[in-house]
Chains A and B, each alone.
Chain A
Amino acid sequence: MSVLVMSKAEVGGVMGRFTTDTELVAAVRAASAQGHDRLEAFAPFPVPGLAEALGFQPRPIPVYALGAGVLAAAGVLFLQWFSSVIDYPVVVGGKPLASWPAFLPVTFEVGILVAALTAVVMMLAGNRLPRPHHPVFDYPAFGRASDDGFFLMIHTPDPDSARRCLQGLGAEDIEEVGT
Chain B
Amino acid sequence: MSREQGQQLIPGDLTQRTLTSRIAGLVLDRRPRPGWRVGFVVSGLLTLVLLGGLAHLFTTGVGIFGINIPVAWGMPIVNTIWWIGIAHAGTLISAVLLLTRQPWRASINRLAEAMAMFAIVCAGIYPLIHLGRPWLAYYLLPYPDSLGLWPQWRSPLVWDFFAIATYLIFTTCFLYLSLLPDFATLRDRALGRGRQLFYGVLALGWRNSARHWARYEKANQVLAVVAAPIVVSVTGIISLDLAISIVPGFHFTIFPPYFVAGALFSGFATVSMLAIIMRSVFGLRDLITRRHLDYLGRMMLLFALVVGYAYSQEMFTAWYTGDEYYRYLMIDRWTGPYAPIWWGMIFCNVVLVQLLWFRNVRRSPLWLFVLALTSNLGMWLERFQIVFTSTHAEFMPSTWDTIWPTGWDWLLYAGTLGLFTFLMFVFVRLAPVVSMHDMRTAMRERSQPESTDHERARHE
Q: Which residues of A contact B (CB under 8 A)?
A: 21-22, 40-52, 54, 56, 58-62, 65, 79-80, 83-84, 87-88, 92, 95, 99, 102-103, 105-106, 108-110, 112-113, 115-120, 122-124, 126-127, 129-134, 136-137, 142-148
Q: Which of A46, A119, A137, A148 contacts B223 (CB 8 A)?
A: A119
User: Are A113's CB and B214's CB within 8 A?
Assistant: no
With A61-B222, A116-B174 known, 13 other A-B pairs at CB within 8 A are A45-B440, A61-B221, A87-B150, A88-B149, A95-B154, A99-B154, A108-B229, A120-B177, A120-B223, A126-B211, A132-B200, A132-B204, A147-B188
* Closest residue of A by beta carbon distance from B213: A46
Of residues 135 to 154 in B, which have CB atoms within 8 Å of A's CB atoms? 142, 148-154
Count residues on chain B whose CB falls below 8 Å from chain A CBs. 71
Would A47 and B226 be within 8 Å (CB), given that A92-B154, A109-B166 are in contact? no
Most central of B156, B206, B456 by chain A CB within 10 Å: B206
Residue from B201, B210, B229, B237 within 8 A of A42 (CB atoms): B210
Q: A65-B222, A106-B158, A116-B223 are in contact. Are A123 and B207 (CB under 8 A)?
A: no
Q: In the complex, what distance in Å separates the CA atom of A143 from the CA atom of B24?
A: 13
User: Which residue of A42, A79, A92, A123 is within 8 Å of B219 (Cβ)?
Assistant: A123
Residues in B lying within 8 Å of A, measured CB to CB: 15-17, 20, 142, 148-154, 156, 158-159, 162-163, 166, 169-170, 173-174, 177, 181, 184-185, 187-189, 200-201, 204-219, 221-223, 225-226, 229-230, 233-234, 237, 240, 436-438, 440-441, 444, 448, 451-452, 455-456, 458-459
B20 touches A47 (CB 8 A): no
Contacts of B230 in A (CB 8 A): 112, 116
**A80–B152 CA distance with the chains assembled, in angstroms:** 9
**Chain A residues closer than 8 Å to B213, beta-carbon distance:** 43, 45-47, 50-51
Complex A-B: 7 CB contacts under 8 Å = A45-B213, A46-B217, A58-B211, A87-B148, A88-B148, A105-B237, A132-B205
A54-B210 contact in complex given A48-B456, A132-B200, C-beta closer than 8 Å = yes
Give the most central of B185, B226, B230, B438: most A CB within 10 Å.
Answer: B226
Residue of B nearest to A102 (CB): B154
Task: Tell me the minimal C-beta distance from B36 to chain A in angstroms.
Answer: 24
A71 to B225, CA, bound (A): 18
* Interface class of chain A by DSSP: helix
A43 to B169 alpha-carbon distance, docked (Å): 29
- Closest-by-CB residue of A relative to B211 is A56
Q: Which residue of B lies closest to A5 (CB)?
A: B211
In the complex, residue of chain A having the shortest beta-carbon distance to the beta carbon of B441: A45
Whole-angstrom distance from the CB of A60 to the nearest CB of chain B?
A: 8
Flag if A84 contacts B150 (CB, 8 Å). Answer: yes
Take A132-B200, A147-B16 as given contacts and tell me if A113 and B211 are in contact as well, using a CB distance cutoff of 8 Å: no
Once bound together, how far apart are the Cα atoms of A54 and B117, in whole Å? Answer: 36
The distance in angstroms between the C-alpha atoms of A33 and B343, with both chains bound, is 72
Contact A62 B223 (CB under 8 A): no
Given A51-B210, A105-B163, are A62 and B221 also a contact pair (CB < 8 Å)? yes
- Decide: A52 and B209 in contact? CB cutoff 8 A: no
Within 8 Å CB of A123, what residues of B? 177, 215-216, 218-219
CA A29 to CA B456, docked complex, whole Å = 17
A142 to B205, CA, bound (A): 13
Give Cα A49 to B459, complex, Å.
7
A113 to B414 CA separation, bound complex (whole angstroms): 31
Whether A92 touches B152, Cβ cut-off 8 Å, given contacts A56-B211, A147-B185, A147-B188, is yes
